[in-house]
Structure 1
Amino acid sequence: MRFIDERSIERIGFNRLLSRVEVLSNYGEEKLKNLKPFVPGEEEALERNFEEIQQFINFSEETDRKSFLLTLESCIHRMKNIKKLIRMVENGNVLDEVELFEVKVQAIYMEKLQECLQELPAELQGFSLQPLNEILEALDPQSDRNPTFYLYESYSRQLTALREQRKKVEKQIYATRDYDTIVKLKEERLTFLVEEEKEEYRIRTKLSQVIAEEANIYLENIEKIGNLDFLIAKAKFAKKYSAHKPGISRDGFFQIKKAVNLELKEMLEAKGKTYTPIGIELGEGVTIITGANMGGKSVALKTITENLLLFHMGFFVIAEEASLPLVDFVFFISDDMQDISKGLSTFGAEIMKLQEVNVFLELGKGFVVFDEFARGTNPKEGQKFVRALAKFLNGKPSISLITTHFDGVVDSSMNHYQVVGLKNIDFDLLKNRIALSNKSMELIQECMDFRLERASVEEVPKDALNIAKLIGLDEKFNEVISQEYHKED
């Protein structure tokens, strides 16, 4: 079962978040690129992953660890991706001198890395590397551990003799000026070269066979290096962005407190503004989030889903506290679903996606998000569709989250949150500030409270008129729209 589609990842901005993860080697980069989610049934493995991250963070924060950590990172950073070479010898291929050099150098680096890893706490000794004694003995016959390689004469007496004879002939070529003698000597030299290459090929074949015998150990070490690199990257990510170890909910209950959207937080702080973290509790069935436009409903959805994805990928969450469940799949359906290639409107694309969601709902328990569903159709029909969607999802064992500005969607059986918005603002005071500064949009955003709070009422808050007045509504139009609101009341 597919966990999440690329378009959902793009809408959430998850790839931009992952671009902040800093790996050290090609092996770590490969782990990040081929990231796979933990799924239901893998709770124990996920817990071990979180424990290892925490253990490394604790270890790195001990005194006098800075020098060790620099050495450790330097050892990992040196590793080049030579898995292809190891696979080649497994398949019976013969490596050339440059390729043998690559295998030797990395084996030396693995040996040095293992010396470093011995300082890690017992809980992290699972990353220890196995020795490659046969490979190092074969590729480093002098045991000097120099990062160089040459087909040494010590590999073969015949190779030594052939090289000596070739060099002797080359000296004779340089010493004579007789054309016929030079031609004969060059032919003789060519004979020695051919024999030398044959002997070198025999030696390279033998060395490749030695590597093949320890190929499994070599590949296991590579896997451990990639895992260790990725673990360090996760730990550094957690420390840099104040992420915390989440709990694993086994009863399907979803709880997150003071969750942060890094992109928005950094954007606001760059403008000297304060970011407001959000929190929410979700269970099986549907939860409705209501609030005025500009109220941050979409950002709330992205923040919640982004942290769920971090959790599934084995990262700490960017929140003060969280207890999250593993789910089988994630959908993030937003109001920009228009599919030009298929000639579909936003609403048409949403309906197509809903059909796909329904198939997945029958196969497992997921996390499904609808951001302003049916926004692209007329309000009366849109309200009916959203109300029907809420009722439909409320009967499913998955966790579903819907944002809407339609009235009449929420009923008493549904979980309901509202964006606080401008609820607690003194509108007269704000209006005066706007009049003095002539910066209506900036001041409204500054005063907007993006926190989510449980709502006991079933109606959608009507901040739109207040926001419109604050921005600057034509006086005559203001009278007309106010009359419409009074009629509704």
Structure 2
Amino acid sequence: MIINKRSYKALDIERVLGDLHPITPFGMKFKSLMKPYEREDAKALFEELDRIEKIKELVDTQRAVFVEIRTYMRGIKDIRKSVERCIEGGVLNSVEFFEIKNLISIMRSISQSQSFLHWEIPEKFRVDVLEEVERLLDPESCGLKTFYIYDCYSPELRDLRASRAKAEYVLEEIRQAKTREIEKETGLKLRSTGDITISRNQIDLIKKLLDYPKLQVFSETYINVTFRVRPDEGMMALLKDIESLKDKEAIEEMKVLEDLSQKVASRGGIILRNIDAIGHFDLLIAKAYLAIAMNGVKPVISEKTCCMIKMGRHPVVEAGLKKKGKVFTPISVNLGQGAAVITGANMGGKTVSLKMVGLLMAMLQYGLFVPAEYMEASLCDFIFISAGDEQSLDSGLSTFGAEMQGIKEMLDMSDRHGLILIDELARGTNPREGYAISYGIISYLMEKPCITLITTHFDGLIREGVKHLQVKGLRNVDYDKLGDPDIISQYMDYSLVEIIGNTGVPKDAINISRLIGVPEAILKEAESILESPVTSH
């Protein structure tokens, strides 16, 4: 489905997707790749909405399991590149093996939690226990999360480590014996590591120890001097052997890492499959949580061209109103192929109604639940909106020129099934020409297979074949409360009603001006002009 950047921004799609919160790096990646379903993908979209509905039900009945799963997910790091590099023949280091081992452990925990859900989980979302990989990384079944190059990986490595341990033991025995001998001869107490630190204030003792053959300076600072047992020839030979054994051990450990990398690589495909399953499952849960947060419903996909919304809400506007302690007035529309027009005074919510229709239609095709009591709609090839307040500085176009450029893009697509939304059509030019252009555009779009919804202030655009929706407007107004624009929302009914017959655009603008406190003399003159027989567009 086509949504250009201008429409994407105007409809607040990004802000809605911003409230979609997968936890894992894999889920975040799939979110970044989200695109609207195409019309030919209706079956796949239907299945996705069914899965969200199922997860939503399970969250209600088995919330503790999802808390557990999401807790496990928070411990996941993105190790996909390590696995892919391993598959390509790279050798992983100990840190990478630790991260893979940790992920494999988390996969087991998620898999076990999934088994408690009352749902036959589709393969795409099912996380498997990878026992073969577990045995590779924990060959002694210790159950530790840390990674260690175990002796059992290599008999030669085991022998080298044993030889080094034996040499280190003998070296330590000699060092301890020499330490006891030095303590007896000097009357000083050495540390278990065979060293002693002397303050530089003890000048005589430092001079004495500098001449003492069984100790050597190990380190110095401006505060003190540290002495350590001087190794004899036997100790030097052992130290040389130990260093040699360490070098051989490091070489053998690298051979183990190479072999282990190859074995993990042979199982890399199932690891990546599990990674994708976690990502898809994470994003699915996030969609269900979003549906719960906005009290959304599963939209019904219709084969006939329509957009029926019962008590719909614009989630971004609703959230903004909630912060101010106000409530969003739900809006209902029933649109079909052809053109529909919304009329009503400024501040009556026409633009919000228009954008709500576009946003909910987009949310449906992104595979999301919608904030409404009910929604049934056909899928679109495109969704375009002209907000009427654009200006192209780069091309030198005026607001009207930029608007017409955007509308031309819509008209070029109008032979396809889509949704066209135009706010205050032709507002950027003089009223007479604006009316004429609006009349022509509506006539043109009435015969097209797309759904068109237009807001306008122009009288005379409503005729046979054009659906007329009108903002109910001001009700039960107390005109004694003047001067405060905020009180308008107390009296404004933002809901839409379908008007049958040739009814003009309502004149709530004068009443709104009266509420704000515009001088009555001005308003009386305006009312007298409206009552005169002279009319203009």
TM-score when normalising by structure 2: 0.82
User: Equivalent residues in 2 for 1:235-384 (5 A)?
Assistant: 235-362=288-415, 364-384=416-436
Separation in 2, partners of 1:281, 1:198: 74
Separation in 2, partners of 1:301, 1:48: 28
State the AA in 2 paired with 1:159.
L
User: Equivalent residues in 2 for 1:148-159 (5 A)?
Assistant: 148-159=146-157
Residue 58 of structure 2 corresponds to which residue in structure 1?
Answer: 59
Shift of 1:72: 2.2
Alignment deviations for residues 390-413 of structure 1 (CA, whole Å, 9 cap, x no partner): 122222211121111122223212
Q: Report SS of the residue matched to 2:121.
A: helix
Residue 104 of structure 2 corresponds to which residue in structure 1?
Answer: 107
Shift of 1:142: 1.4
Separation in 2, partners of 1:85, 1:69: 28
Residue 454 of structure 1 corresponds to which residue in structure 2?
Answer: 498
Q: Which runs of 5+ in 1 are unaligned?
A: none
Separation in 1, partners of 2:5, 2:234: 72
Residue 50 of structure 1 corresponds to which residue in structure 2?
Answer: 49
Alignment deviations for residues 179-214 of structure 1 (CA, whole Å, 9 cap, x no partner): 888887666555444433322222111111122112
Residue 40 of structure 1 corresponds to which residue in structure 2?
Answer: 39
Residue 71 of structure 1 corresponds to which residue in structure 2?
Answer: 68
Separation in 2, partners of 1:270, 1:132: 47
Contact 1:55 1:123 in 2 (8 A): no
| 1:472 lines up with 2:521 in the alignment | no
Q: For structure 1, which segment, 472-481 or 101-110, has the greater mean C-alpha deviation from structure 2 after superposition?
A: 472-481
Q: Report SS of the residue matched to 1:41.
A: helix
Structure 1 residues 454, 206: CA separation in 2 closer, same or farther (over 3 Å shift)? same
Contact 1:55 1:124 in 2 (8 A): no
Separation in 1, partners of 2:232, 2:270: 56
| 1:98 lines up with 2:95 in the alignment | yes
Q: For structure 1, which segment, 11-20 or 396-405, has the greater mean C-alpha deviation from structure 2 after superposition?
A: 11-20
Structure 1 residues 165, 336: CA separation in 2 closer, same or farther (over 3 Å shift)? farther
Separation in 2, partners of 1:95, 1:338: 55
Residue 262 of structure 2 corresponds to which residue in structure 1?
Answer: 209
Shift of 1:168: 5.4
Q: Report SS of the residue matched to 2:497.
A: strand
| 1:397 lines up with 2:441 in the alignment | no
Structure 1 residues 178, 58: CA separation in 2 closer, same or farther (over 3 Å shift)? closer
Shift of 1:475: 4.0
Residue 481 of structure 1 corresponds to which residue in structure 2?
Answer: 526
Residue 162 of structure 1 corresponds to which residue in structure 2?
Answer: 160
Contact 2:476 2:491 in 1 (8 A): no
Q: Which runs of 5+ in 2 are unaligned?
A: 176-228
Q: Report SS of the residue matched to 1:50.
A: helix
User: Equivalent residues in 2 for 1:210-229 (5 A)?
Assistant: 210-229=263-282
State the AA in 1 paired with 2:96.
E
2:131 alignment partner, one of 118, 130, 133? 133
Shift of 1:288: 1.3
Contact 1:118 1:125 in 2 (8 A): no
State the AA in 1 paired with 2:328.
Y
Q: For structure 1, which segment, 301-310 or 173-182, has the greater mean C-alpha deviation from structure 2 after superposition?
A: 173-182
1:414 alignment partner, one of 456, 466, 474? 466
State the AA in 2 paired with 1:150.
Y
Structure 1 residues 405, 139: CA separation in 2 closer, same or farther (over 3 Å shift)? same
State the AA in 2 paired with 1:347.
F
State the AA in 1 paired with 2:144.
N
Shift of 1:145: 2.7
Separation in 1, partners of 2:375, 2:428: 34
Separation in 2, partners of 1:142, 1:23: 35
Shift of 1:232: 1.5
Q: Report SS of the residue matched to 1:330.
A: strand
Structure 1 residues 197, 329: CA separation in 2 closer, same or farther (over 3 Å shift)? farther
Shift of 1:99: 0.5
Structure 1 residues 377, 134: CA separation in 2 closer, same or farther (over 3 Å shift)? same
| 1:7 lines up with 2:6 in the alignment | yes
Q: How many residues align?
A: 477
Shift of 1:486: 2.7
Structure 1 residues 389, 155: CA separation in 2 closer, same or farther (over 3 Å shift)? same
Separation in 1, partners of 2:337, 2:236: 89
Alignment deviations for residues 43-92 of structure 1 (CA, whole Å, 9 cap, x no partner): 22122112222222223333xx3433322222233222221112111211
Structure 1 residues 189, 7: CA separation in 2 closer, same or farther (over 3 Å shift)? farther
Separation in 2, partners of 1:233, 1:353: 34
Residue 431 of structure 1 corresponds to which residue in structure 2?
Answer: 479
Residue 181 of structure 2 corresponds to which residue in structure 1?
Answer: none
Contact 2:149 2:253 in 1 (8 A): yes
TM-score when normalising by structure 1: 0.90
Q: Report SS of the residue matched to 2:143.
A: coil
Structure 1 residues 469, 112: CA separation in 2 closer, same or farther (over 3 Å shift)? closer
Q: For structure 1, which segment, 313-322 or 174-183, has the greater mean C-alpha deviation from structure 2 after superposition?
A: 174-183
Separation in 1, partners of 2:5, 2:247: 56
Shift of 1:284: 1.6
Shift of 1:97: 0.6
| 1:445 lines up with 2:497 in the alignment | no
Contact 1:104 1:136 in 2 (8 A): yes
| 1:200 lines up with 2:258 in the alignment | no
Separation in 2, partners of 1:292, 1:100: 66
State the AA in 2 paired with 1:68.
V
- Give the share of equivalent positions with the same residue, in percent: 33
Contact 1:411 1:458 in 2 (8 A): no
Separation in 1, partners of 2:9, 2:240: 66
Structure 1 residues 387, 194: CA separation in 2 closer, same or farther (over 3 Å shift)? farther
Contact 1:134 1:210 in 2 (8 A): no
Q: What is the RMSD computed on CA atoms of the aligned residues?
A: 2.5
Separation in 1, partners of 2:259, 2:405: 60
1:88 alignment partner, one of 76, 85, 94? 85
Contact 1:52 1:123 in 2 (8 A): no
Q: Report SS of the residue matched to 1:287.
A: strand
State the AA in 2 paired with 1:372.
E
Shift of 1:365: 1.8
Shift of 1:421: 1.1
Task: Determine which structure has the larger helix proportion and give its number.
Answer: 1
Q: For structure 1, which segment, 125-134 or 52-61, has the greater mean C-alpha deviation from structure 2 after superposition?
A: 125-134
State the AA in 2 paired with 1:401.
L
